[in-house]
């Protein structure tokens, strides 16, 4: 697990995202920030209307709340725990304690950890509207979040990850939690997924989080791997990186790039900023339904 980052680096991240938010174009854009939270996940979605959703909170207590405060965000319309492993929810504790949260969604499968029980207790104590993930659409201003169907009769946390397809005009992004082979196969068969502009790679780039059939089904243009530097799991797997490279997918990794920010327009065009590289690339993505 990567240690907590020094304040200097957090200030650098704050300056980067603040500069993006201050540009006239960004005020009309969808912005997705993939935070570098080490070996874990945390992504903040901000609609052009200023509606915000946080998907996962990483494994560092207090870190996501600090980042939200740096961005002057005191209200979240939605918080989603993709599943209830600590590397995805520990950081949500301080978020629900210090931020106004309108709705909280998880997979409805309790974990045995104190991290989970403390978090879910706080959600209820704070009076946050709790929902179990079911297949439905949620509007975040002009951005649509489609909750993908959960596989039936599966109590495995990874394979019950809450999948979310984001659509903003012709731009699409897919958030996959730690979904392993069986859940991704279920989505392929049942979720009617379009071509995806940006894919949040499942399970930190592990071999069981990506396969050729999956990439061929959703044909992402950009892949983001949220992963800790020098983690003990060997993530991302060489096999995963090879599959993405051979498919011509542009890959970003939080262990190498730091925070990764995607700014997208309704016409499908997008720009990608990285903490260490600034403006890295631009492109277009068109959502094509199967």
Q: Three-state DSSP class for 73?
A: coil
Phi-psi region at 200: left, alpha or beta (left = phi > 0; alpha = psi -120 to 50): beta
Rounded distance, CA 200 to CA 78, Å?
A: 18
Torsion angle of the four alpha carbons 230, 40, 221, 290, in this order, in degrees rounded to the nearest 10: 140
2 assigned to some structural domain: no
Domain that holds residue 92: 7-284
What is the 3-state composition of the chain as percent helix, strand, coil, each rounded to the nearest 5? 30, 25, 40
Q: Give pLDDT, residue 8.
A: 40
**How many separate domains does the chain show?**
1
pLDDT at 155: 84
Check residue 276 and give its pLDDT: 87
Query: Residue for token digits 């492109």?
Result: 283
290 within some domain: no
159 part of a folded domain: yes
Tens-level pLDDT at each residue, the chain (290 residues): 333 443 344 434 444 444 434 333 355 899 999 999 989 999 999 999 999 999 999 999 988 999 999 999 999 999 999 999 999 999 999 999 999 999 999 999 999 999 999 999 999 999 999 999 999 999 999 999 999 999 997 789 999 999 999 999 999 999 999 999 999 999 999 999 999 999 999 999 999 999 999 999 999 999 999 999 988 888 999 999 999 999 999 999 999 999 999 999 999 999 999 998 866 667 766 443 32
Count CA atoms within 13 Å of residue 239 on its CB side: 8
- Alpha carbon distances (Å) from 150 to 8, 54, 183, 265: 40, 20, 8, 29
**Tokens 């990608």 identify what position?**
272
Residue 1 in any domain: the answer is no
Confidence at residue 153, expressed as pLDDT on a 0 to 100 scale: 76
Residue 44 domain-assigned?
yes
Tens digit of each residue's pLDDT (9 = 90 or more) over 136-195? 999 999 999 999 999 997 789 999 999 999 999 999 999 999 999 999 999 999 999 999
Predicted local distance difference test score (pLDDT) of residue 48: 97
* Domain contains 155: yes
Nearest to 235 by CA among 261, 201, 212, 258: 201
Which CATH number goes with the domain that contains 273?
A: 3.60.15.10
Q: Is the pTM of this model over 0.85?
A: yes
Distance CA 16, CA 4 (A): 19
Q: Alpha carbon of 100 to those of 41, 73, 75, 106: distances in Å? A: 21, 9, 5, 17
pLDDT of amino acid 290 = 26
Q: Is residue 258 part of a domain?
A: yes
Label residues 141-170 b or e (16+ Cβ within 10 Å = b): eebbbbbbbbbeeeeebbbbbbbbbbbbbb
> Does a structural domain hold residue 238?
yes
């Amino acid at each position: 697990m990567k240690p907590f980052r020094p304040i200097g680096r957090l200030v650098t991240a704050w300056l980067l995202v603040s500069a993006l938010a201050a540009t006239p174009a960004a005020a009309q854009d969808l912005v997705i920030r993939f935070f570098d939270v080490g070996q874990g996940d945390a992504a903040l979605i901000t609609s052009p209307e200023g509606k915000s959703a946080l998907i996962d909170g990483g494994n560092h207590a207090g870190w996501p709340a600090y980042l939200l405060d740096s961005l002057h965000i005191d209200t979240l319309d939605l918080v989603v725990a993709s599943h209830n492993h600590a590397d995805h929810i520990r950081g949500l504790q301080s978020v629900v304690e210090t931020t106004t949260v309108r709705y909280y969604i998880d997979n409805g499968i309790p974990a045995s950890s104190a991290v989970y029980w403390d978090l879910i207790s706080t959600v209820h104590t704070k009076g946050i509207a709790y929902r179990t993930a079911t297949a439905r659409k949620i509007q975040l201003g002009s951005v649509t979040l489609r909750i993908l169907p959960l596989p039936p009769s599966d109590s495995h946390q990874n394979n019950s990850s809450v999948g979310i397809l984001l659509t903003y005009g012709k731009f699409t992004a897919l958030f996959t939690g730690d979904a392993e082979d069986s859940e991704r196969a279920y989505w392929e068969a049942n979720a009617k997924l379009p071509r995806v502009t940006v894919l949040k790679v499942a399970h930190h780039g592990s071999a069981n989080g990506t396969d050729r059939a999956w990439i061929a089904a959703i044909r992402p243009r950009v892949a983001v791997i949220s992963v800790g530097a020098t983690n003990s799991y060997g993530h991302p797997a060489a096999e995963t990186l090879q599959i993405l490279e051979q498919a011509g997918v542009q890959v970003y990794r939080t262990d190498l790039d730091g925070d990764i920010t995607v700014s997208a327009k309704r016409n499908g065009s997008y720009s990608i900023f990285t903490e260490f590289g600034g403006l890295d690339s631009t492109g277009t993505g068109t959502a094509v339904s199967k």
